[in-house]
Amino acid sequence: MKDRLIRFTTACAAAAGLMIATEVRAQVTPAAGYTPPDDTPKINVGITIFADYSYQDTPSVVDGDKNTIHKGSFNLSRAYINVTGSLSHWFSFRITPDIKAETGTSTSLAGNQTFRIKYGYGQVNFDDFAPKGSWFRFGLQQTPWIDFAEGVYRYRFQGATFSDTEGFLTSSDYGASAHFNFPGNYGDVHAGVYNGDGYQSLNDQNGVNNEKAFQIRATIRPAPGVAVARGLRLTGYYDSDHYFSDAKRERAIGAVTFEHPYVNVGAEYLDAKDQTSVTKAVLHKDGYSVWVTPRTPIGIEGLFRYDDLNQNKDVSPSPRKKRTVLGVAYWPPLEGGKTIAFMVDYSEVKFDNVKPDPGKTKIYALHTLFNF
C-alpha cells in the first residue's frame, strides 16, 4: 500500500511539472502569424532620367551669322543615381548624386555635365510604435511641399510644379525633419528646420547669415474609407524664413487634390512675401495653379495646366505672368516599380501689364521619363 501511494504521488508531481512546463512554453511561443522585423542590411541602386527635345517657335533668335532661327535642341534635364538602403528596420538612408549641365559662362566647364549631391540623409523609422511611414531624417533631404506635390502631379519630367518653377521653393535642402502618418490613412504631417536656401547653397544669401527656415505641411484625407472619395486630400503648407534678421521670407500654400484611376486633379493657391533687406520694401506676390490629367486603362493620359502669378500685389494694374501647358502622354505598363513615360506637349508663357513686355514664348517638346 505504501509503495502504491509513493508511485501515485510521484506520477502526480510529474504530471504537474509537465503542465507547468507546457504553460511556460506556451507563454514564450510567438503568436500565430507574427513575423519578426527583417533586420538584414540592404542596398538598392536605381536611376532617374529626364531627356527631351524642345523647339521654340516664339520668339525667334538671331544666330552668330545674323540668321533668324528657331531654337531647337536635345536636352538632359535630370540624371539621378539613387542609392537607397537600410541597416535594420530602424535605420535607413539615401544618397542621390545629380548630374546636370553646367550653364555658366565664367568657367571652362560650361556645357559639360557636372556632379553634385541632391539628396544625402539618414533616417530613423518609427514603425514599431507609430503608424507605418513615420520617421525622422537628418541631412540633405526633400522639403515638405514639393516632394508631396510631385507625388500627386506626376509630370515633373515635363516641368516643375508652380512654386518650384517660379523660384518660391526648392525641392531639397539641408536640415532635420519628421514625418507622421495619421492612423486609418486620414492624412499626414511633415515638418522640419532647414537652412532655407536649397541644396545648391550653403545658407549664404549675399553674404553670411544664420537664418533657418521652419517648414510644415499638413494633409487631411476626409474620407479614406469611401471608395469614390478616397483620393480627395486637403493640404496646407507654411514656410517661415528670413533673408537676414528682420527681413522676412514667407510662403503659404493651400491646395486641393483628387486622385482616381481615370483622372487626377489639383488646384493650389500660393502667397509669398519677400524682404531681401530691412532697407527695402516687402514684395508681395500671389498666384494659383490648376491642372487636370485625364487617364485611361491603356496608359494614355492628357495634361492640361494653367498657372497665373501676380508679380506685385501692391501695384495696379498688377503685372502678371501666365503659363499654359497642353500635352498627351503614354505610360507603358511595367512591373516592379519601373516607370517609363513619353509625352508630346505645348507650353506657352505670356505677360500682362509688364513694361517692357517680354513677349510670348511658345515651345513644342517631346519629353521622356525613365525611372527604376
| Domain with 363 in it | 15-371
pTM: 0.85
What pLDDT score was predicted for residue 19? 41
- Say which residue, 283 or 1, is predicted with more confidence: 283
Q: What is the CATH number of the domain that holds 62?
A: 2.40.160.10
What pLDDT score was predicted for residue 27? 46
Q: Considering its fold, how many domains does the chain have in total?
A: 1
Residue 7 has pLDDT above 60, yes or no: no
Question: Considering the domain boundaries, does residue 28 fall inside one?
Answer: yes
Question: Considering the domain boundaries, does residue 101 fall inside one?
Answer: yes
Cβ neighbours, 10 Å, residue 29: 9
Q: Which of the four pLDDT bands, split at 50, 70 and 90, describes residue 15?
A: very low
Question: Considering the domain boundaries, does residue 169 fall inside one?
Answer: yes
Residue 256 has pLDDT above 90, yes or no: yes
What pLDDT score was predicted for residue 3? 52
Mean confidence (pLDDT) of the chain: 88
Q: What would the mean pLDDT of 46-74 be, rounded to a whole number? A: 92
Question: Considering the domain boundaries, does residue 9 fall inside one?
Answer: no
Residue 105 has pLDDT above 90, yes or no: no
What pLDDT score was predicted for residue 106? 52
- Say which residue, 30 or 310, is predicted with more confidence: 310
What are the pLDDT digits (tens) for 163-215? 999 999 999 999 999 999 999 999 999 999 999 888 877 655 445 678 899 99
What pLDDT score was predicted for residue 63? 87
Question: Considering the domain boundaries, does residue 8 fall inside one?
Answer: no
Q: Which of the four pLDDT bands, split at 50, 70 and 90, describes residue 103?
A: low
Residue 1 has pLDDT above 50, yes or no: no
